């Protein structure tokens, strides 16, 4: 994978099914399965009226206990990682006021949101820190505000597991790594009618790898460090911010909304003791019908909404979620401990939601994701990543799809590049000329492409005219210019 020889020797296996370089922690790793799974707090609106729910989130530094016995400084939404979970209802507008009390400019993007361009988190639409007058004449023109701004989300889309995260130009990798990521769930009547597991049995799982310094600080390479152009892989697997946590469960069905919020790591999730994942939803909403998987391969930014049935297990039994692509520590994710027998009224319906298959489109476009030479910001050149041979330029438009048309986009890669399209979801039509795999089902907004793959997707943009992004969701690749702009007309 072009990894530097020294790094390979250091880490044993640098790639683990991912394009990236392993970063090793400088302190002993914690024992797995010793801490309980944290559940991110659910945000309460500060106000509701007939049409709108209003929220306020403060972005700030905080020192939190991620590893037992030591404090780690994060940048968190409300000072926590993951950030608080926002819950919206289809048909009700959500307005989130974000205040930036950090020391860096930020940008908020609602990943998977069907959002007008103005509120989508364009990488140069910065929110400057409230208390830092020194910042800053940025060389990228954008709609810059100071201190705070309101992000307005119409929320006309169906129930889905979205997430929000930082999207600042050139700094998405480090700012997400420091903690700027949270869930944003959308609920609707279709889903409510299904009697899926709910309440304490509906749990979001944000999986993210990190490495730590000797004193417990998050370790991230200096920008422009050529060894990490491939992406940053940590050696500690966090779920909801805790290392290899354990969740006590009833012997009952659970719904897990699994998100891979890692910068560069892919996972192949498995369960032992014969447990399986029954997938009910993908990135952008419910599937037409459930699909059972013994393993779920999840690339960065993808979501798998699954049901795991613990009813066959006895109290005291443990079921481990592993990562078949990892080794040693990164080969494990978390553990479930069955605590008690319990009543369960949930069902796994045989039909879930109507998923309209997108027909063949009229317009075809190709997007090739590959290594390239890109500007280093200092007048020179550096190694980076390009789309169709070009580094990202916020003033250039690469495609102009018309609202309402179905287009066929052919995505191709040299290495692993999970491709994400803003504004509207898509459907996978083919992989390497063959039918899509069983993990490609439903409405997607991010698709996992492995080295030298070609995937065709059908996409139909609707409602909002403006400039939106298409990019690789390996965050180091994104920061090293692997983005492209389309403008809907």
Q: Can you give the binding site for ligand C2O, defined by CB under 6 A?
A: 109, 111, 165, 167, 301, 420, 422, 469, 471, 473
Indicate which of ligand C2O, Cu ion, none lies near residue 471 (CB less than 5 to 8 Å, by partner kind): ligand C2O
Q: Give the C-alpha separation, 73 to 195, whole Å.
A: 40
Q: Give the C-alpha separation, 161 to 164, whole Å.
A: 10
Residue 477 in contact with Cu ion, rule: CB under 5 A: yes
Any idea how long the chain is?
489
Q: Which of 346, 474, 484, 485 binds Cu ion (CB under 5 A)?
A: 474
Q: Which of 74, 96, 472, 475 binds Cu ion (CB under 5 A)?
A: 472
**Chain position whose Cβ is nearest to ligand C2O:** 111
Least Å distance, CB 280 to ligand C2O, is 22
Beta bridge partners of 374: 382
Of the candidates 164, 195, 199, 203, the residue with the CA atom closest to the CA atom of residue 76? 164
Indicate which of Cu ion, ligand C2O, none lies near residue 474 (CB less than 5 to 8 Å, by partner kind): Cu ion
Closer of 290 and 418 to ligand C2O (Cβ): 418
Please state, in angstroms and as integers, the Cα–Cα distance from residue 401 to each residue in 365, 386, 463, 488, following that order.
10, 21, 12, 5
Longest C-alpha distance within the chain, in Å?
65
Indicate which of ligand C2O, Cu ion, none lies near residue 472 (CB less than 5 to 8 Å, by partner kind): Cu ion
- The per-residue DSSP string of 132-144 comes to -TT----SS----
Closer of 18 and 446 to ligand C2O (Cβ): 446
Beta bridge partners of 163: 111, 183
Closer of 322 and 477 to Cu ion (Cβ): 477
Closer of 230 and 309 to Cu ion (Cβ): 230
- Phi first, then psi, for residue 10 (nearest 5°) are -65, -40
Closer of 212 and 468 to ligand C2O (Cβ): 468
β-bridge pairing 267-271 and 318-323: antiparallel
Beta bridge partners of 303: 259
Indicate which of ligand C2O, Cu ion, none lies near residue 92 (CB less than 5 to 8 Å, by partner kind): none
Indicate which of Cu ion, ligand C2O, none lies near residue 444 (CB less than 5 to 8 Å, by partner kind): none
Chain-centre distance of CA 308, in angstroms? Answer: 21
Total residues contacting Cu ion by CB under 5 A comes to 6
Only one of the segments 30-38, 353-361, 409-417, 425-433 lies at the binding site for Cu ion (rule: CB under 5 A); that segment is 409-417
Please count the other Cβ atoms lying within 10 Å of the Cβ belonging to residue 229: 22
Least Å distance, CB 36 to ligand C2O, is 28
Indicate which of Cu ion, ligand C2O, none lies near residue 167 (CB less than 5 to 8 Å, by partner kind): ligand C2O
Least Å distance, CB 360 to ligand C2O, is 27
Indicate which of ligand C2O, Cu ion, none lies near residue 184 (CB less than 5 to 8 Å, by partner kind): none
Instruction: Determine contact, residues 204/189, Cβ cutoff 8 Å.
Output: no
Q: Give the C-alpha separation, 383 to 14, whole Å.
A: 19
Closer of 353 and 423 to Cu ion (Cβ): 423
Least Å distance, CB 167 to ligand C2O, is 6
Indicate which of Cu ion, ligand C2O, none lies near residue 477 (CB less than 5 to 8 Å, by partner kind): Cu ion
CA dihedral for 477, 478, 479, 484, sign (positive or negative): positive
Q: Give the C-alpha separation, 442 to 233, whole Å.
A: 29
Q: Which of 266, 417, 444, 471 binds Cu ion (CB under 5 A)?
A: 417
Least Å distance, CB 165 to ligand C2O, is 6
Q: Which of 60, 98, 111, 184 binds Cu ion (CB under 5 A)?
A: 111
Omega of the bond prior to 136 within 30 degrees of 0, cis? yes
Least Å distance, CB 401 to Cu ion, is 16
Residue 303 in contact with Cu ion, rule: CB under 5 A: no
- Which residue's entry shows tokens 């892989």? 233
Sheet of strand 381-387: strand arrangement? 381-387, 363-375, 406-413, 454-460, 426-431
Only one of the segments 87-95, 131-139, 273-281, 414-422 lies at the binding site for Cu ion (rule: CB under 5 A); that segment is 414-422
Chain-centre distance of CA 299, in angstroms? Answer: 9
Indicate which of ligand C2O, Cu ion, none lies near residue 237 (CB less than 5 to 8 Å, by partner kind): none
Beta bridge partners of 325: none
Indicate which of Cu ion, ligand C2O, none lies near residue 417 (CB less than 5 to 8 Å, by partner kind): Cu ion
Instruction: Determine contact, residues 124/138, Cβ cutoff 8 Å.
Output: yes
Site string for Cu ion, 250-279 (x = CB under 5 A): ------------------------------
- Which residue's entry shows tokens 């805790």? 242
Indicate which of ligand C2O, Cu ion, none lies near residue 178 (CB less than 5 to 8 Å, by partner kind): none
Of the candidates 446, 476, 27, the residue with the CA atom closest to the CA atom of residue 233? 476
Residue 422 in contact with Cu ion, rule: CB under 5 A: yes
Binding site for Cu ion (CB under 5 A): 111, 417, 422, 472, 474, 477
């Amino acid at each position: 994978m072009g990894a530097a020889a020294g790094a390979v020797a250091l880490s044993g296996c640098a790639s683990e099914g991912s394009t990236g370089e392993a970063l090793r922690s400088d302190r002993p790793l914690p024992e797995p399965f010793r801490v309980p799974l944290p559940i991110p707090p659910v945000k309460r609106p500060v106000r509701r009226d007939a049409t709108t729910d209003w929220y306020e989130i403060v972005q700030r530094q905080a020192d939190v206990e991620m590893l037992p016995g030591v404090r780690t400084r994060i940048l968190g939404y409300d000072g926590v990682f993951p950030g608080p979970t926002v819950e919206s209802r289809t048909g009700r507008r959500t307005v989130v006021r974000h205040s930036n009390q950090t020391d860096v400019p930020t940008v908020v993007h609602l990943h998977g949101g069907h959002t007008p361009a103005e509120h989508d988190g364009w990488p140069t639409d910065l929110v400057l820190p409230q208390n830092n007058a020194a910042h800053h004449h940025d060389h990228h023109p954008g709609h810059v505000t100071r201190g705070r701004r309101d992000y307005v989300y119409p929320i006309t889309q169906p129930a889905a597991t979205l997430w929000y995260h930082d999207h600042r130009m050139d700094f998405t990798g480090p700012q997400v790594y420091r903690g700027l990521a949270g869930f944003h769930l959308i609920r609707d009547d279709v889903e409510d009618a299904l009697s899926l597991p709910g309440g304490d049995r509906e749990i979001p799982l944000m999986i993210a790898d990190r490495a730590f310094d000797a004193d417990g600080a998050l370790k991230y390479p200096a920008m422009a460090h050529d060894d990490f152009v491939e992406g940053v892989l940590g050696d500690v697997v966090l779920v909801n911010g805790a290392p290899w946590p354990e969740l006590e469960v009833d012997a009952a069905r659970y719904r897990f909304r699994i998100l891979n919020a890692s910068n560069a790591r892919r996972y192949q999730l498995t369960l032992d003791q014969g447990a399986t994942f029954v997938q009910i939803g993908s990135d952008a909403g419910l599937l037409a019908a459930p699909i059972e998987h013994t393993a779920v391969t999840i690339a960065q930014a993808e979501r798998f909404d699954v049901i795991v049935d613990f009813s066959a297990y006895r109290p005291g039994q443990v079921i481990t979620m592993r990562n078949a692509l990892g080794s040693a520590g990164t080969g494990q994710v978390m553990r479930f401990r069955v605590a008690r027998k319990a009543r369960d009224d949930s069902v796994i319906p045989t039909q879930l939601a109507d998923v309209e298959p997108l027909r063949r489109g009229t317009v075809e476009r190709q997007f090739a994701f590959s290594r390239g030479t890109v500007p280093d910001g200092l007048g020179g050149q550096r190694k980076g990543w390009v789309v169709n041979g070009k580094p990202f330029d916020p003033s250039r438009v690469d495609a102009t799809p018309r609202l309402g048309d179905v287009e066929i986009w052919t995505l191709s890669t040299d290495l692993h590049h999970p491709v994400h399209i803003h504004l509207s979801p898509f459907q996978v039509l083919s992989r390497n000329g063959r039918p899509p795999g069983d993990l490609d089902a439903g409405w997607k907004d991010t698709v996992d492409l492995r080295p030298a793959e070609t995937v065709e997707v059908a996409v139909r943009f609707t409602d909002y005219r403006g400039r939106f992004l298409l990019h690789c969701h390996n965050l180091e690749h994104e920061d090293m210019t692997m983005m492209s702009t389309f403008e809907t007309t």
